[in-house]
Every structure is written in structure tokens, then in C-alpha cells.
Amino acid sequence: MLRFFIFVWLKNDREFMNLPQTQKKPANPDVCLSEAVTLQERLHLIGLLDQGLEPTLTNGLSGLFRDLSEQIDKTVQSSNLKCLNPQNSSNGFHRIEINSESNETLGWMNMLYFNKTIPCYYLIYVEVAPFFRKKGLGSRIIDRFKQFLNDKSALGILDNIIPKEDPTFSLYRRSGWQPLDDYMAAPLLLQYERYLIYVPPGLRRRVLKDVLPKIFYHLSRKRAILDMRDNESMVQQTLQEFRDLYQVLQTRSQVRTDHGKIDMESRFFFTRFVIKLIAFRRLIGDLIGYTGGESIEQITLAPEIAAWPIQSYIPAEWIRAVPSISGDFKLLAHLPGALLGKPAVFIEALPNYQRPSLKSWLDKKGVDRSPVITIGDLMDLGFDPTRLKEITLKGQTYVFERVQRKQSIEIQQKQRLLDRLKTLMAPQTIQGTRMKINPPLLWISDQGHTYILREKIAAIHWEEALDQVQTQDALKPLNRLIGLDQRIKKTVQSAMSCLSADLTLEEQKEWRHLSWFVSWNRSSNQPALVLDDSEPYFESVFVA
């Protein structure tokens, strides 16, 4: 379901963006980023840091966390609820908000009204800003919605997309919501299994089994339009939050020179900001039903900021931590001594991995393989080229991937799944294509990041392969001739279907964390295909 996709993204990858609206303050040139004054400014900046860094920070950034819990609790205690009619909301939905004393939005719920025999309100979603979760705000919004339905004598409907293992899964049931099948005369279709309804006292004498099929038929017809409108609302809101965050960064930052060097703190925060922004740009492209009207091109960087060199990793002087290494200890013996001494410093100085899209960009710029990448370059590229680094050990090339701590935990959790997939892949091919895995070999944690070492394989990510065959002039004729883009999709989808059939439900939960690659000749930037009498197919498909 699209709503589940958005919910997961909101909960995980967009956590820094669902923050209260920032109250603008006059610029103070004597205050640096880490000395932000208001709670909202502090939360904006903390959202750009990796989770779990607080105990290890040694520089002024640690001040961002001072008395943070107490201030959040005070904000929650003084918050109040407010209902908005469609004419007062930006998306035409009825809305319940929970706001702070200074009118920053801490949480909200969108709902849609329709009347099919009886008045109904469909709950589209409930969201609470990340730093204010587990404070009871979600329950307060749900209780207010229940009171609203009682006052209106209207039926409440929702699709409970919360996973069963989530602690909040039973939130609605505790508030009096009941499964739809308790009221239906016939068995439910699979698409309605998650639905819950709330029947207010004014409707409890009605025989609902006769009217519910009509209500849900109407809802199913409107669902696509609802999702489109919801997507547009989410994009508009998120872009406004990006604008607010940019304003905070621009207001609080200053260019401080020290022997001609730009302030590293400002570079770091603006780099993180742009990395989040381009990730959201990719999300907009994937949203089903979103056709535009809003885009991140509306957010432009000041020329002087765009010209700053990027700072995408945490400087050593900011953090207090002891490096740790685990994995293949036979391979560990071949690591350079300088890497073992200062892992992050050594790895960040390695050459960038030359993925096809980076090579194409460098060719267009007319520069070599190791230019200084600026913050503006990130906007142009659409990814951070310094995240992947190449190293040669024992005559073989490997790739280091820099990930955040949260990502590192997710990758560790899927290691068992990769081991399981290896046993499933061994005897199988898909229409001639061999299936392989590319597992992590070493884990090196230093300076707040984890660096994961894998073999450099003769393959590229399937989404980049799609981009190459659709945008590169040398590949377009071949794509038109044999439908390369469709073959890429078919190959990956077939591999997924083949392997997922043998997985348990628990293993399938980790499925979304996997990455898929198709065989590719990087030197010629051509797909590695096998030609036979029937039709061409990829040599290999890799999963990592």
C-alpha cells in the first residue's frame, strides 16, 4: 500500500523533517550553529546528526543536547488541541492538530468527510514529530478524534497500517475501534482485512452490515485520488520544512576564516542538509500518483554556500570514540598499518568509487577523478560521491561504504538473511542468469560512522543501470533494439520472486533492506549480457 510506504518513510528516513515550524529570529553574527537558541532550532540541527552520537560529541555540538528532554517535556505539557475545517487547511482535509504554546505543530491527523447513507470520517493518517513521540500525543489526538465522532454521530474508518510488532499497534483497539469484519455479513476481501471502524453511541442502534459495503465501495473508488492529494500535501509540507531548516542554517551559520579555511561546522550541516534534500528528490520521483506542482528546485542555495567544499563525515576533533574492527580476520591482516591507526582519516582519503554516473558527470565537467566536490555539486550529482571508496588489498579491489550507525545495525540484521540466500542461490539460475551475493567482509567503526568493506563486483545497482540505458547516448540504440530497461526490471523482479518464495515471514521483513545489482562492464559502460539463440540475458544478478 502506498500509505504504508509513506508511513515507513516518514517514520525512518524523514525524521529530521517533521519538526515544529521555526519562529524566525534576527541573525546574530556572533552565534555559531551549535549555539542555536530556540528549541525548534536545536531540534532542526539535531535532526541532521546521526542517532546515538550525543555521548561521544566533544565540541560545542554537545550543547545542542543540554536540558533537551526537560524542554521537550515542558513543550508537551503546555500543548493544546485544535480542529481545522477543510476551508482552513491547505489540502481540503479535516485536520486535528496538537500545537505548542507558541503555535508550532507537534502532531496532526488528516481525515476526509463523506456521506453514504450515514456520515463518515476516514482517517488518512496520524503523525507526531519525531522528538515528541512516546509522549502520549498520538493517544491525545486519537481520543480527540473519538470525541469528534461522538459529537458528529459519524462513523470513523481507518486502515491500520501499523505493523503488529509496533508497540502502538493496539492503540486504536484500546480506544474502542473494532475490526470491520465484526460488522460484515459476508467474509472480507483481503484488501479490507486491516480496516477498523469506530461506531459512536448515536449509531449503535443502526444495522451497519447493510450500509458498510456501499461505504467501502465508495472509499475504494476514491482511494487513488486520496493518495494523490495526500502525496501532494506531504510534498508541500516537507518542502516547507526544508525551507525552514535552510533558514535556520543560513541564519545561525557564518563564514569564519581561520588561516583561509571556511567554518567546518557550517560546511558539515549544509552538506547534511543537501544530502537529505536530494534523497527527498528521489522519493518524489517514486511517489505513485504525484504529478508535480512542487519540486526541490524551489529551494536554491546561496552561491557562496554552493561553492563550499562538502564535509559529509564527522571530523575527528568533534567526537570521542575508540575505533573497532570486526569481520574476516584473514583479510584484516592485509590492511595497511595507517588504516588500523586512524581508520576514518585513512578511508576518507582513498579515491572515490567510480560509478558510471560519477564518471559521466566528471567527463561533462572535464575534470579528473579526484576533484574537490562542492555542496553545489551534490545538488547537481544527486548523490554523495565520497560515500564509496576504493582500496586494493592482495591485488584485488574492494569498496568501503560509509554508513550511519542506524544503517549499520540494519545491515548487520540482514547478514543472516544473506547467508540464507546464499544457500538458496547456489543451485539456481534465472533464465540463464546466475544469482550471487556480495556480503560485508569487514566492519570498521570510527568517528561516529561505520565503514563496510565488500568486494568490488562487476555489476552496478539496477536503478543506476536503468538510468544509464535511458540517458546515455551510447546505450539508447541498444535499449530501443532489445528493451534493456525492461530486461533489467524483469531480471531483478524474477530474482526477487524466485528467492522470496522460500523465505519465512520473519525473513521477509528484512527483504526491503536488500540492494540488487546487475552484471556490468564498467570500463566500457555496457551491460554484461550473454547472447544465445533465444534472447540475451544478464550474466549475473547480485544481492547485497
Render 303-358 in DSSP notation, one character per residue: HHHHTSBP--S--GGGB----EEEE-HHHHTTS-HHHHHSHHHHHHTSPBP--HHH
- Is residue 450 scored above 80 in pLDDT? yes
Helix ranges (DSSP H) in 162-320: 171-174, 212-252, 264-286, 303-306
Let me know how long the chain is. Answer: 544
Q: pTM for the full model?
A: 0.80
Q: How far is CA 115 from CA 128, 153, 177, 201, 283, in A?
A: 28, 12, 20, 18, 34
List, for residues 147-174, the tens digit of each pLDDT value: 999 999 999 999 887 777 777 778 888 8
The ranges assigned to domains in the chain are 76-206, 321-350+387-543
How far is 468 from 454, CA to CA, in rounded Å?
Answer: 23
Considering the domain 76-206 in this protein, what is its CATH number? Answer: 3.40.630.30
Find residue 119's DSSP bridge partners.
Answer: 115
Which residue, 459, 510, 522, 457, is CA-closest to 488? 459
How far is 251 from 264, CA to CA, in rounded Å?
Answer: 16
- Is residue 254 scored above 80 in pLDDT? no
List, for residues 489-543, the tens digit of each pLDDT value: 999 999 888 888 777 767 776 777 789 999 999 999 999 999 877 789 999 999 9
List, for residues 303-352, the tens digit of each pLDDT value: 989 999 999 888 777 877 788 899 988 898 899 999 999 999 999 999 99
User: If you compute the radius of gyration of the chain from its CA atoms, what whole number of angstroms results?
Assistant: 26
Residues 6+ apart with CB under 8 A from 423: none
3-state SS assignment for residue 68: helix
What percent of the chain stands above pLDDT 70? Answer: 84
Phi and psi angles of residue 380, each rounded to the nearest 5 degrees, phi first: -70, -45
Q: How far is CA 90 from CA 1, 17, 81, 87, 141, in A?
A: 24, 18, 18, 8, 19
Joined together, the cell numbers standing for residue 142 give: 486519537
List, for residues 462-490, the tens digit of each pLDDT value: 999 999 999 999 999 999 999 999 999 99
